[in-house]
Amino acid sequence: MGSVGDGLEAGNARWSFGGQTAQQFDEHVSKSVPMYTEGHQIVCDLSDFFLSGGSTCFELGCSTGELTAKLALHNKDKEPARFVGIDLEPAMIDLAREKSGNLKLEQTDFVVDDVIQADITNADLVVAYYTVQFIRPSERQRLIDRVYNALNWGGAFILFEKVRANDARFQDITTSLYNEYKMAQGYSPEEIFSKSRSLKGVLEPFSTQGNLDLLARAGFEDVLSIFKYLSFEGFLAIK
């Protein structure tokens, strides 16, 4: 086990969202992913185009419910719009429910379930914010297919992912710049190395084209890249 920063430890290829990770998750991820909070605002602003009174929005892999809560607050005048956060880790969902309760967000629900098999239907918006990259590659197409089928016509899927470069040179450049970014956030080289080792076989990013191919095979014909920072990208796909 090695320190990955923010009081968290993880072993080689053993990164987990369970246990004590939930308590430190919001701080850790906001420092580890560039423009993490700004991405939340992009998602909320985009929701204006797809949600109305009576709409249902799902967040797949909602972790502590931070983005689900922001979406609910952003759309609070669109009651009875419903916001459902789904995550596999009970500790994450416990925090999400606590956060939602403190904010008195009655239109939110949080469910402990595997996003691969969770009940998602009649949706006007589905969000996967740095979630699919942790799904086994062999299962990703099935998940995206289910998202497409769950959406109402004209509904949208917002997908944010870490992406790998097509060329080794570009991958070296983005990895180097990303490591410098993390050091600027206060992480030591040892913590950065330990985090990288812990994610082996856990986080497996596709390329930009790989993600576009997933969306196209599911049936999405209208797809736009809405965010890009080094190896982090957001896509808007409309059914």
Looking at the predicted structure, is the pLDDT value of residue 104 above 90? no
Note the pLDDT tens digit of each residue in 41-97: 999 999 999 999 899 999 999 999 999 999 999 999 887 899 999 999 999 999 999
Q: For residue 35, what are the domain limits?
A: 2-238
Q: Which secondary structure element, helix H or strand E, spans residue 187, and what is its range?
A: none
**Cα distances (angstroms) measured from residue 38 to each of 70, 168, 195:** 12, 29, 23
Q: Please count the structural domains in the chain.
A: 1
| Cα 137 from chain centre | 16
Going by pLDDT thresholds of 50, 70 and 90, the confidence category of residue 15 is confident
The residue behind tokens 């080792």 is: 197
Dihedral of CA atoms 136, 31, 233, 159 in degrees, nearest 10, equals 60
- At 58 the three-state DSSP class reads strand
Which pLDDT does position 200 carry in this prediction?
Answer: 86
Residue 105 to residue 202: CA distance in whole angstroms: 33
Going by pLDDT thresholds of 50, 70 and 90, the confidence category of residue 149 is very high
Q: Take residue 131 and report the two structure tokens written for it.
A: 């979630």
* pLDDT, mean over the chain: 94
Sign of CA dihedral 168, 170, 174, 180: positive
Which CATH number do you get for residue 8? 3.40.50.150
Which pLDDT does position 5 carry in this prediction?
Answer: 82
Note the pLDDT tens digit of each residue in 178-208: 999 999 999 999 999 999 899 888 899 999 9
Looking at the predicted structure, is the pLDDT value of residue 2 above 80? yes
How many C-beta atoms lie closer than 10 Å to residue 189's C-beta?
A: 10
pTM assigned to the model: 0.96
